[in-house]
Structure 1
C-alpha cells in the first residue's frame, strides 16, 4: 500500500476483461466540484500506463472526453468509468460529478462501487454535501479513504487538511482518520512556499521522491527521522486499535516492536471492513513526468486495501412477482443479475447502458430479461420484457473497447438495449429477477417548457422520453390542470443540462415559460343563479330554464349536486343534463379560469317545453345558472398548500424558519436529531416554493435537504389573489 518493502513493481497498462471477481476493484471518486477528481483519474490512468504523457489513449481522445456539454460548461455533469489495470488487478475507477444538482449520478456511482475515495482540496474546507455523502457511506459500511489534492497551491497544507478531515469524518473516533504518508517538500521558493516533490512513508520510513518525473525510493536522513516519529507512532496506534488481534495493543504498549508486515495486513483488513480511513496525498504529474505524486501509493491502496466484489453483499433480489430470492454473493456461475447504473444515447450506436454485474456472467448477443424499476411516478414506465443485447465493451473516454464477457463484480457497457433504463435489472430470460432499486433524490425544481415551433412539437415527446430514460432523478409531468409540460429537476444546473441535451442531442428547441401551480376557485358565501336558454330559429327551438342555489362546503368536498325540484318543473330526464352542464362549467372555472370546487349546488326550480327542450339546452342552462350565481358572489381563489419537511444543520435552523415564515409558511413543529441536525416541519403555499430547491441550498450552504407533499387547497390572501388574477389577465 505504498509502504510495502518492495513497492511499485510496475504498471500493467490498460484493463481487459477480468477472469475472477477477486481480480476486480470498483472504486468511486467522491468530492465537491473543483476538488480535482477528474485530474486525479487522469493521473492514475497515466501511472497505470493506460494513457501516454499527453494524457491521450492509444486510439485517440483522452479519459476526460465524456460529454460535449461537460467541455462547454467546464464541469462534470455525469458519471464516467475509466478501467485500468495495476499489478494484475482490474480497477474500475468511477468518476462522479461534484455539483449537488447531479447527486443522482453520484448515487449511481455508489451503487456500482465497492469502496469510495473521497477527494478533498487542500485549499478548501470539507463542504456539507461531502459530509452527507460520507454519512451515507457509513450507514451501509462502505470502505472509504481520503485523498488530499491541490498540494501545489501556495495556500495548501496537508497536515492542517488531515486534521480537518479527522474532525469532519472521524466522528467519535478521529484516530480512525490518519495519514499514511507525509509530503516531502522541495527547496523553498521566494514566496516562502516549498513545493511538494514526494512522500514520506510513515510505516516503512522510506522517502518516495517524484522530483525527477519517476518515483525513486530512498532512506531518510537522520535529521528527518524525528519529524516522522510522532506521526508514525500515532498511525501505528490507530491501526492496532482497529486490529482483530486483541493481544496486539498489549504487546505494543509493552514495548514489543510490531512487524511492518503485520501492520500492513491489519491496515488492509481495517480499511476493507470500513473501520479505518487512511489519508493520502496526490498531485498531478509535472510536464514530462510519467507519474503524479502519490498515484502509485493510491493504486496500491485500492488494490491492496479496498475489498473485492466478493466481500460485498448484493442488494435484495426478488422474482418479478415479489418472492425473495437468495443468491450466492458475486458468483460468476450463478443466475444472471445485473443492474443498469447509467444510460446514455450515442448518435451512432443508439442507447448504451453501463451495467454492474452482481451475479452470473453477461455475454454479448444473448437475450436477457429487463425488469422495471418502480419509478412510474417520474415518467419511467415499469419494464417486463426480453431484449437481445449487442456488444459488450469497456469505455475509455469516447472509445469503447470490446469485451468477450463481463463476470460478476465487473462493469461493462451494453449496446442495443432499447427498452432498459437506469435502475432496471437484467437477468436470464428463463429466470427473470428484480433488484431492489437504490434511493434516488426527489426532483423538486419545476421547469415548464413548450416547443419552440411546430417542427419541435413533433419531436418533443420522443426527446423527453429519451431524456428521462437516461436520468431517473428527472420527473416528467403533463399537468392536467395547467396544461403545462413540466420537467422536475434537482437544481438550475440540472435544468440547464436537460435543455442543452434536448437541443444538441435530440434536436428539440424549447422555450421555458413561467411555471403555474394548480389553483382552484370556490364560493365564499351562499348564492343563487338562474339559467335561461331560449332560442327560436324555425323548426325545433331550444328551451330550458333552471334555478339553482349554491352554498360553500369544507375543503376537499368537491361538487355535490342536489335535486329539490317538485311538481315536474324540470322533467326527470333533464335533471342529469343540468348537473352535467354545471360540472362542465365548474371544470372550466368561473372567475379566473381555474376549476370550481367545494360547493353544493341545489336545483330548485325550472321550466321546460314539450317540444323545444333537450339535453343540450338544459346543459347550457345549467352552465348559465352557475355563471350568473358567480357574477353576484364573492369568489375565493384557492391555492395548494404543501407540507414541507426540511432536514437542516442546527446552525441554520433559525435562518430556515425565518425564510419559511417569509414565504407565508406556518412552522408546525421541529424535531432535534442526534446527528446535529433538526427536522423542521411547515405548511407552505406551493406558489411560494417554486424555487425553494435553489434557495435552500444557498441558505444552508448545501447542507440541507427537503421533501414536500400536497396537503390541501385553502383560500389565498386577497392581495395575493388580486396579483395572481392580474398576471392571468396579462398572460391572456
Structure 2
C-alpha cells in the first residue's frame, strides 16, 4: 500500500511456502460471471513471477484449465486456488465461480479466506447476487476491497462505477467506500476513446504510468494534480473517520499536514477491521508486459491491509460427540484442526482434498482423525475414522507442487484421503475435533434420473457416492414413495455439471425423467367391501372371506384398524393377517398407485375353512376387500403442500405475490426482514414449485431466495386429480 516501485516477486516454478501464520494472506475473489476474476488472478500471478506468460505456468498449461468441464461449458464451475508470493508473503488467491448455481463453491471460498476482493466490471455494473454476498460478509465483518476491472473496455466508466459501488456497498456510510487510486488517461485514439495508461496515487500524489509496459513513477501534471487534490481530501477524511486516534480530525481541520505513514497505518487498520473498503482499478497486461495496470497496487493492499490468519475469525470446535472445546488459536504448535474445503477427483491421482488449516501443522504421512457430521440429510453419512495423509502439495493449474508442511492459517491439497469429504474435519487422532460447518445453500431444484443401460445401473451408486463426497450443496434422495433417484440441485447449470461429471469422470450415463411428487390417496366417504379368496386346484386349497368397512379420518389421522368380528367368524389368528393385507394394499394405493392415508378400516365379518384357510389367504382377502370398497366410493388425491418463505428486495414483492397466487398458493402475509428486503410467507402445492428455484431467480434478477418445508397433504383439485390418474394408468 506504500506505492513501492521495485517489489521482489516470487519465482516461477517454485511453490510459495509459509513457515508462520503471519506470512500468509487468504483472499477470495467474488463477483458475477464475466467480471474478470480469473483474468485478474492470472494478472496477479504474472506480476508476482509465478507465471512466465499471461495465464500460463511453466509446463505450458494455463492457471485455470484444470477442469475439462469448465472448457466444455465455457464458465468457471468450481473454486480454484492459486498461491503466489509477494515481498515474502504467501498469498492464497481463491477464485470463486460467479454463476449463481455454484454459490456453494463461493461459500467454501469465504470459509477458507480471511478477506474478500469484490471484482466488478466497469462496463457491466454490480448485480444483485454480488450485493447479497457483500451483505453476508458485512454481517461477519469480513475485510473487503473492491477492484474495478475492464477499464480498457469501450463502455467502461470508472467514475460511474465508483458511484454505484459507494451506493450499493456503502449503505448508510458511503464514505467508507473510496478509491485509493484514480485512472490516468492518455490522448484519445482514432475511435475517440482515451485509453487508461496508469493510476493516480491519492496518498502518494504520484502517477504510476503503465503505458510503456512497465510500471514507472512520475510527478502528476497540472490537470492530474487537480484531480488528485480533490479526491485526496475526501479519502483522508474517510480514513480519519475510521481512525482510532480521535485527535487526527482536529489536527487535520486545523490545517496540519498529516504524514503519509500515519495515514497508511490507519488505512490498513481500518481495512483489516472491515470498516473501510478501498476501491482500485485494474486492467490486464498488454503488449507482453509483466505487470498489468493496478496489479502492484493490489498486491500491496493485500499484503499490507488485509488481515493475517491470526487476526481473522476462526470457527468454533467441539468434540465429535458434541462436547464443547476451548476456542481455537491460529498456532502452528496448537492442536490440529483443519477442514476439507473442497473435494475433487483426478483420473490419475484419485481423490484430492483442498484443506484449510486453522490450528496446528499438517505434515505428509501423518495419521489424522477424519470427522464428518451434520450432513446426513444430504446423503453424507456421519463418520469417524483415522486416515493416513498422502503427499501435501500446493496447486497451480494442473501442477501439484509438493510441500513439506502446511502451518496454521495456510491452505494446501492432500492426496488420497479416501474417506474425507467436503466439510469434514481433520484433527489429531488422539484428540479428535469437529469444526462447526459453514452455512451452505439448500438445493431446491429436483431432477429425477435413471440409468441409461444395465451397465450404467451397475456403476450408478458408486458414481453418485463420489458426487455426494465432492459437492455438499447437492442432496441425493432415494424416494420411497415414487421409487425415483432424485438429485436436488441449486439450478440448471448445477444439474448440467453434475450429469457431466457422472458421464465424463465416472463413466455413468443417465437419463433425466419427470420428477414426481409424493402424492397420497384417501377415501372421500364411508364404503364397504368384501374380499373373497377361494381356490381349489387339487391338494391344499386357499379359503378366506372378510367384510370390512372403510371410513375417512381427519387430515393427519393416519391409519386405524378396528376388529368387530363376533362369534369367531374370522379365527383370532387370522385377524392380524387381514390387517397386514389391508396395510399392504394401502401402501400400493387403490386409484393411481399412491399410498392411502387417513382411514379407519373395521373388520366386520368373514368366513374361514378348517383346512384351507391360511395367513396368506386372509392377507389376500383383506387386500381385495379394500379394493372393492375403493371401487364403490370417491377417492381423493392428496398433494403435498409446502410452507414457503421468499426473501426478496422490496421492489419485487408484488410480482412474487402475484406469481405465488398463480401457482395455487395462499399468501399468508409479509414482514420486513433486513433493510430493503421483505419476507413473503405462503403455502403452495409442491407440484407447483418444482422449478421455483429457477423461476424465482428470473423473476427477481438473481436477488431472491426462498426456503420450503413440508406442511401437510391436501385434496388436489378434481381436474388435476383426473390427469394424475390418467398419467398413472399410462405408466
Instruction: Give the TM-score category using the shorter length.
Output: over 0.9
Q: Distance in 1 between matches of 2:309 and 2:362?
A: 16
State the partner residue of 1:12: 10
**Aligned twin of 1:435:** 435
TM-score for both structures, normalised by structure 1? 0.99
Rounded Cα–Cα distance in structure 2 between residues aligned with 1:8 and 1:590: 81
Q: Could you say which residue in structure 1 is the equivalent of 2:33?
A: 33
**Aligned position for 1:463:** 463
Distance in 1 (CA, whole Å) between partners of 2:405 and 2:367 is 14
**Whole-angstrom CA distance in 1 between matches of 2:694 and 2:355:** 32
Partner of 2:485: 485
Aligned-residue offset at 1:256? 0.5
Equivalent residue of 1:175, what SS? helix
Question: Within 5 Å, which residues of 2 pair with 1:303-318?
Answer: 303-318=303-318
| Paired residues, number | 729
> Can you list the C-alpha shifts for 1:402-450, whole angstroms capped at 9, x where unaligned?
0000000000000110000000000011110111000000100001001
Q: Secondary structure at the match of 2:612?
A: coil
Contact 2:341–2:354 (8 Å) recurs in 1: yes
Counterpart-to-counterpart distance in 1, 2:447 and 2:703: 23
Per the alignment, residue 546 of structure 1 pairs with 546
> What is the distance in 1 between the residues matched to 2:223 and 2:483?
76
Post-superposition offset of 1:609 = 1.4
Describe the superposition over 1:127-181 as per-residue Cα deviations: whole angstroms up to 9, x where unpaired.
Answer: 1110110011011110000000011111111111011000000011000000000
Q: Give the 5 Å matches for 1:662-681.
A: 662-681=662-681
- Confirm or deny that 1:191 pairs with 2:191: yes
Q: C-alpha displacement at 1:724, in angstroms? A: 1.7
1:174 paired to 2:174 = yes
For the Cα contact (< 8 Å) 1:327–1:334, is it kept in 2?
A: no
1: CA distance between counterparts of 2:156 and 2:459? 51
1:488, CA displacement in angstroms? 0.4
Contact 2:328–2:358 (8 Å) recurs in 1: no
- Determine helix, strand or coil for the equivalent of 1:223: helix
Name the CA distance, whole Å, in 2 between partners of 1:724 and 1:623. Answer: 23
Judge conservation of contact 1:368–1:428 (CA < 8 Å) in 2. yes
What CA distance in whole angstroms lies between the structure 2 residues aligned with 1:353 and 1:674? 36
Q: Are the counterparts in 1 of residues 200 and 224 from structure 2 also a CA contact under 8 Å?
A: no
In structure 2, distance between residues paired with 1:41 and 1:651: 35
Q: 2: distance between equivalents of 1:208 and 1:398?
A: 34
SS, match of residue 701 in structure 1: coil
Q: 1:302 maps to what in 2?
A: 302
Offset at 1:328? 4.9
Query: What's the CA shift string for 1:351-389, capped at 9, x where partnerless?
Result: 000000000000001100001131011001112000001
Question: Distance in 1 between the 2:272 and 2:635 partners?
Answer: 66
Contact 1:82 1:395 in 2 (8 A): yes
Deviation at 1:117, TM superposition (A): 0.2
2-structure distance, mates of 1:153, 1:147 = 15
Q: Match of 2:152? A: 152
TM-score using structure 2 length: 0.99
Contact residue 82 and residue 92 of structure 2 kept, 8 A = yes
Question: Are 2:43 and 2:295, in contact at CA under 8 Å, matched by a contact in 1?
Answer: yes
**Offset of 1:9 from its aligned partner?**
2.4
Matched, 1:47 2:47: yes
Q: Distance in 1 between matches of 2:383 and 2:674?
A: 40
1:11-44 deviation digits (Å, cap 9, x = unpaired): 2235422011111000000000000000000000
Q: Structure 2: where are the runs of 5+ without partners?
A: none
Is 1:348 matched with 2:335? Answer: no
> Counterpart in 2 of 1:395?
395
Partner of 1:378: 378
**Cα distance in 2 between the residues matched to 1:581 and 1:605:** 15
C-alpha distance in 2, partners of 1:142/1:115? 6
Unaligned runs of 5+ in 1: none
- The equivalent residue for 1:472 is 472
C-alpha distance after superposition, 1:193-227 (max 9, x if no partner): 11111101011111111111110000012232112
Using the TM superposition, give the Cα deviation of residue 111 of structure 1 relative to its aligned residue in structure 2, in angstroms.
0.3
d(CA) in 2 for partners of 1:724, 1:431: 56
Q: CA deviation at 1:537?
A: 1.6
Tell whether the 8 Å contact from 1:115 to 1:142 is kept in structure 2 after alignment: yes
